[in-house]
Amino acid sequence: MLEAYRLGGSLYVPVTHKDCLSIANGRKWPELRSVIFCTEDAVAAEALGPALDNLRHFLDKMRPSSETLRFVRVRNPEILGWLLDLPGIDKLDGFVLPKLDMSNIDAYMDQLGGSRRRYHCMPTLETRDVFDPARMTELRDYIIERGYQDQILALRIGGNDLLALLGIRRPRDRTLYRTPLGLTIANLVTVFKPHGFQLTAPVLEHIDCPEILEEELGEDLAHGLCGKTAIHPDQLPLIDSRFRVSPSDLEAAQRILDDDRAVFKFGGSMCELATHSAWAEHIVGRAAMGR
């Protein structure tokens, strides 16, 4: 689903934030490609009531549409049901579904399937099951069998929650791929992507480590991920620039699709229609979307 590449850097914003409305309406950070207003981990339990009141208030005053993709990260299936009944909820593009696994997927997806409009959803993979490829395969097959895949814009990899299950906080001097999650991310890619799912990359919570962010973005791209969570607007320009299709990749992709030779050399690399055409179609499609 190439549309997932519109996400770019997805900025998490607690629904308690004083600027939620101006962010949602594109006045603050107008270049923001996607925003996720969070009712879950970013909101303390005792602050949930006022947070939901704030969400109700700014939904009412949000513009009907925006260049920024707008999502709400729900806290649980009950909060999703409450949100779906709110006036103005149809101004959102969709919902992020935390800690999705076989125990709660129907509770989430049945509500979305029965809603008045079709919302995108982004389930977050961040439970113990993520470490078990067999459980992820079971989840993938269930999603396909139930017809849920069409509503899933992308699967989000919840890096910090997964590290928390291991009792680890990511170091400041290395990318996530040099922790135990490197293998986990690779497994998720090979389980889900061959079946048409897109996955987004976890956040880097160390805001003052741009060199690590740049290195990690290279790994994200090498793993075929389609966007990355950001927790600070300073991270967005680098994320968005790295996910933009480079002129050299676009030219290579166009030559692969247009050349009538089965194999040829371009830019110091072998280009082969049989093995590289899927990549080339993907690159040309992303470039057409402005990515």
Q: Is residue 141 located within the same domain as residue 208?
A: yes
Quick one: pLDDT at residue 262?
87
Q: Is residue 229 located within the same domain as residue 186?
A: yes
Q: Is residue 142 located within the same domain as residue 215?
A: yes
Of the pLDDT bands very low, low, confident and very high (cuts 50, 70, 90), residue 291 is: low
Quick one: pLDDT at residue 287?
84
161 is in an annotated binding site: yes
* Main-chain dihedrals φ then ψ at residue 95, nearest 5 degrees: -135, 145
- Tens digits of residue pLDDT in 206-256: 999 999 999 999 999 999 999 999 999 999 999 999 999 999 999 999 999
Q: Is residue 219 located within the same domain as residue 261?
A: no
Number of domains observed in the structure of the chain = 2
- Tens digits of residue pLDDT in 107-121: 999 999 878 788 999
Q: Is residue 36 located within the same domain as residue 122?
A: yes
In 3D, which of 286, 203, 290 has the Cα closest to residue 2? 286
Q: Is residue 128 located within the same domain as residue 255?
A: no
Of the pLDDT bands very low, low, confident and very high (cuts 50, 70, 90), residue 1 is: low
Q: Is residue 80 located within the same domain as residue 99?
A: yes
In 3D, which of 238, 236, 271, 240 has the Cα closest to residue 257? 271
With beta carbons less than 8 A apart as the criterion, state whether 152 and 200 touch: no
Percent of the chain predicted with pLDDT > 90: 76
Quick one: pLDDT at residue 290?
64
Domain region containing 29: 2-244
Q: Is residue 148 located within the same domain as residue 266?
A: no
Q: Is residue 167 located within the same domain as residue 285?
A: no
pLDDT of residue 84 exceeding 90, the answer is: yes
With beta carbons less than 8 A apart as the criterion, state whether 47 and 21 touch: no
Q: Is residue 41 located within the same domain as residue 89?
A: yes
pLDDT of residue 94 exceeding 90, the answer is: yes
Q: Is residue 181 located within the same domain as residue 79?
A: yes
CATH number of the domain within which 145 lies: 3.20.20.60
Q: Is residue 253 located within the same domain as residue 233?
A: no
Average pLDDT over residues 101-110: 97
Of the pLDDT bands very low, low, confident and very high (cuts 50, 70, 90), residue 99 is: very high
Copy the structure tokens of residue 125.
């993979």
